[in-house]
Structure 1
């Protein structure tokens, strides 16, 4: 493992690397504070707005993601620190102030928990603010199969760049948000990838690795992710032997655990070979030749396109990934096939297309700094509530959350990391303080909007992210119930809005009833309220759901990793479910 770097300060490294993109492509600008690279607001971009596409993730994967910003490609890329997702506020800033929103925004990232939660929350906040927004997480990896991937699903690795390239080309041609979003799902569903590496990578600024972090010299990790994550297994193999294993994982229909896409010799496919950052061009050429030869001779497949380069890296990872995209009809007509969109020109540092002379000679001094105006953030609705009654009811629930903090903390100390109770209490206290200051709106959407940012800023951890996403989605869910005529919000409207928010939350977490999470309390509450309209019965259903978590084996969250399960099984409920249960019981008791 190489542990020497020219720049050891990771913060300085990320900032300067992002700044460099404005030097190689004058049509992009840099928001240093939020680590956003975005297309400059040219006359063309402003006069003929198109669907904006925003992606991003941790740094260390260059040129992804900011390196794909430019005409014909991404509208903006948001960067985190090395191997860590950017936070929600960065992504929200990109959506609301750095890109055109008139035709809608697609927020698209790779399928990693931090990215899904932070980009997803920003997408829900944009929808809550009235911006037409869709979210999608790309998963193309087959190195980790269905059994090991579980509910999390496939990771996003090298082949994901093909999804970005194709949908961005469609957006550039004027495709609608619905068309771009649908195509993203279709392309990702036709894509398989697998990586391999001879070594883990060292992150600048971190201590030197322990011996157990080093892959033995004679071994290769098959299926390694882009953050040093393990794959399916290690092998001692020559390149031909390695390629044989990788292609089998992508194509062999007998491998039921990994057979995500059925590819035959009759299909037209695109082959992409991605350098993880540390393999010489000479060796990558040898890899390309070997993969192409085996595809043709072993599987009878001759790719219609072979794309090779350094697209999505793992710093200076000593490995590569191979991807196969099965071409399919987009249903969008002439000029918009997957292949035509893949071949369409693009001006982005990370893509093999030169920046045009006209772009260099253009006026490249403009910047985009569109501030989200309060009128759009707080778009009025026709849904009304009794603000004082709502305050009273909500206060009763929040008071119970605060009182329950010692109990929740005790449970979380046993099956988690001990911060759940404190985080929920901090958030509850902050909301109570906000509701006690100033006039309370009678507009239901505005009332909820008053609470949302408080929860975001004061509730920590995974629970904080889940509550924040859910509340933002609840704002959007309420807006969906607005018929344009004045109406008072009743149990039926709340139930419909809650169901909508729960559906949105499902995009960002695979948690379901039975997984021992707060969902075991939330789903029974929503279902019972929807069927009965009785908040007290709904709260009792949430309580029953929480009680059942005592005997559940955790499949998500920190409890998955906690040992000595026999010591707490049947005794300790899920802490997050307990916290939510207390909130709902308090609300029901005061309703």
Structure 2
């Protein structure tokens, strides 16, 4: 958990954030006294007004959902605190009209009390007002929920979307019709959440109880730091966690939590929302989404017809996510698809028309597309030794990944080790699936170049791909003058020297710049002089070690604090040194 904030005055923080919405959308107005955002795009004389809200800290909910075809207004309290009755009532008075107003409320005691009282006051004053309560959290089962019931979570946003689009439609439905559809959506929602930690509210003191242990997560955590269903330690694999969450959502044999039956939709579809609780990276949220999609299909036979992946309802900067499923009628899906103008809504991705065409694995695509070296004989005695050397070299790189990653974390962006390991694993996989009798060194190299291009990204991936492709091109050139060529040290040295010249033509990096060239160049030059892979590997290791304390002149390392250079050598150079030593050990 981070206890640091740019603004530590919670009231100023909330007011400024609400005001900022009006700068981006000219149809929005900020009612400062009410802490309410309202839209001028809604015609309350003809259509039912939709208002939601609650405590701040859940952004973009709810104020960022105000706009055309979405909420007419949203009222905010302080962080994690319900707005007052007067705030809500005055907002109803501002946007409500003769057709009536519907209040959509998450199931938290303060929200329910204050919104229901405001609704009663508004109705008594001549503005027809109804309210519904959304309670989609399945982690709070029937037994634990008791009279209070389940909490309201991210599924509330789907109620906003469908109900608001319906209320704003040209058919101008009645308040009762709008309320009925909103209730139907709420009744068909289930949500489960998990978080790696609780959150710190700006302006509050730090307490030890405000966070989880390093190896803990909380399953079923609420969006106000409320305890969840249970703590889990050690941290489970994502596959296990998602499996547990989907079981909570879909297991009909769990009588405490079986709220919606998705097993027989009878023409309905399933809409999926994967919500970022605020502090999960977009990258990690994407991986969560992939795991959810896979398990929905493989374990439950569910293929969502609408998928929403993004930040819809947060708990400040909570490092977690929630999964919401909606059993959606065609009417609900139609209103989900209505275009809106508001800052918070991200449209759905529609189901692919033919997923099977994308099912071929990455590795199989690489090998299937890799060209064969036309005209080159496959009857070479060198293939088995070539494969042995590559296997050993890749194993060395894979084993060294934690050390390389540690180095790169200090002087780079931390991805060098994983990039090299990914390439090494892919090459190892290629070798394991390619019998020596079915190929030759040149064909192998051409295919390996393709493997490297498709599995290694970043600067190290690009440089490696350029060099391996150039090495293959050089060997091909040699084969045209000496067919079949003797794949001995002299041939490899000649090809390696030519490939180095090609690489030097596209990068300014040279020995002394603190890059992988500090290992590659001495390897190639020593091999040319001695024709000994062992001597060349020793020269590469020496060059890599000498980068310790060397000032970087290229790459992200240029921006690193100078003292870091004295602590670790260049990660890319160390990775190449490991590779070359692996080759030498096997030859």
TM-score scaled to structure 1, two decimals? 0.57
TM-superposed deviation, 1:352: 2.1
Partners of 1:265 and 1:299 within 8 A in 2: no
Question: Structure 1 residue 325 and structure 2 residue 322: aligned?
Answer: no
TM-superposed deviation, 1:234: 1.4
Partners of 2:130 and 2:179 within 8 A in 1: yes
> How do 1:452-491 and structure 2 match up within 5 A?
none
Distance 1:93 1:268 in 2: 39
Partners of 2:197 and 2:211 within 8 A in 1: yes
Residue 246 of structure 2 corresponds to 247
Distance 1:144 1:213 in 2: 21
TM-superposed deviation, 1:209: 2.0
**Structure 2 counterpart of 1:344, from 331, 338, 347:** 338
Distance 1:58 1:340 in 2: 30
TM-score scaled to structure 2, two decimals? 0.57
Distance 2:112 2:198 in 1: 24
> How do 1:15-164 and structure 2 match up within 5 A?
15-40=15-40, 45=43, 49-96=46-93, 98-164=94-160
Distance 1:99 1:213 in 2: 39
Residue 279 of structure 1 corresponds to 280
Question: Structure 1 residue 183 and structure 2 residue 184: aligned?
Answer: no
Structure possessing the higher radius of gyration over alpha carbons: 2
Partners of 1:265 and 1:300 within 8 A in 2: no
Once the two structures are superposed, residues 148-168 of structure 1 have per-residue CA deviations (whole angstroms, 9 ceiling, x without a partner) of 111111110011110110000
Secondary structure of the structure 2 residue equivalent to 1:247: helix
Distance 1:239 1:191 in 2: 23
Question: Structure 1 residue 315 and structure 2 residue 350: aligned?
Answer: no
Once the two structures are superposed, residues 234-284 of structure 1 have per-residue CA deviations (whole angstroms, 9 ceiling, x without a partner) of 123111110000000000011111000011165520010010000010000
> How do 1:312-461 and structure 2 match up within 5 A?
312-328=313-329, 337-352=331-346
Distance 2:103 2:249 in 1: 27
Distance 2:131 2:315 in 1: 24
Partners of 1:49 and 1:100 within 8 A in 2: no
TM-superposed deviation, 1:49: 2.5
TM-superposed deviation, 1:222: 0.6
Distance 1:353 1:80 in 2: 27
Residue 232 of structure 1 corresponds to 229
Secondary structure of the structure 2 residue equivalent to 1:313: coil
Partners of 2:200 and 2:210 within 8 A in 1: no
Once the two structures are superposed, residues 325-378 of structure 1 have per-residue CA deviations (whole angstroms, 9 ceiling, x without a partner) of 01136xxxxxxx100001101111111269xxxxxxxxxxxxxxxxxxxxxxxx
Once the two structures are superposed, residues 461-488 of structure 1 have per-residue CA deviations (whole angstroms, 9 ceiling, x without a partner) of xxxxxxxxxxxxxxxxxxxxxxxxxxxx
Distance 1:328 1:49 in 2: 26
Distance 2:197 2:264 in 1: 34
Distance 1:31 1:106 in 2: 19
Greater relative CO (CA pairs within 8 A, separation 6+): 1
Partners of 1:60 and 1:314 within 8 A in 2: yes
Change (3 A) 1:353 1:49: farther
Residue 199 of structure 2 corresponds to 201
Secondary structure of the structure 2 residue equivalent to 1:147: helix
Secondary structure of the structure 1 residue equivalent to 2:284: helix
TM-superposed deviation, 1:219: 1.4
Distance 2:73 2:130 in 1: 15
> How do 1:4-15 and structure 2 match up within 5 A?
4-15=4-15
TM-superposed deviation, 1:213: 2.8
TM-superposed deviation, 1:91: 0.2
